[in-house]
Structure 1
């Protein structure tokens, strides 16, 4: 059976957060049930979560624009630097042997740069992690209703496919093991 990719519709603020929303602290002792609640809420409210995460990230970015930009650049630089070093290990080893003083000065300079960028990296990390924490808390506390369960049944039966469903499947958290 072929299913086409579709994004869940944006749920109303009333359904997502206000009067018709029901919240309850999950039973910590029943991890399977908690896991199921989180997964099903991630699927059902995925568009709301994407919007909320974007708004939170932008708020952090507006509050600290320079730190956010420097943090993004620091993460990108660290990623590209690690990638370069891993691909060119022989060249790096030869350079360290032939130019030990330059290597020492470079390592010290890099250490100083990393130390001075810590606050910017923390702001960027906060901008990324805060939305994840907010989404997890909402998905953990929000009780499922009939519409939520029906929508998730379609995902379980592969009648529809959503980006969040694919992401959860890639993370090894598919619905296959759950029974209602």
Structure 2
């Protein structure tokens, strides 16, 4: 009669001592849409403040790693307009703890900028790298709400090269909704 409670207690102890990770993103494909704030964080004549929209696709590699492809469009408004479209790829490390999932990672990007002023329009393309830090809230197994911040370093933009001013730092902060699909 004592064997049953002892086995039951041993099973509970084993479950508590050997917890498994949540695996919220493993073997899942995600599609996300986000909106937020964008800023040119350099001292130059470009318009500094703007808004950004972003589309993101992600693939969970395992319980801690995810690869993401992203495309965004930012509009900075001031005396002129700065349109910036960027495509990029990033690798993200997820700290998968139940409903809240902090993450961080690194990526590479190709931003295209169009500076539209009263008398002229200039366009250029850059090579950039970025870091990302964020927090996801797993609303359900299929839906995620998240906040992410990306500082970009535009490696090809450290000096003034006409027709564009130097703008080596660009920052985005995005709120996003993501839908996850099992694969």
Q: TM-score range by the shorter chain?
A: under 0.3
More relative contact order, 1 or 2 (CA 8 Å, 6+ apart): 1
TM-score (norm 1): 0.22
Greater share of residues in strand:
2
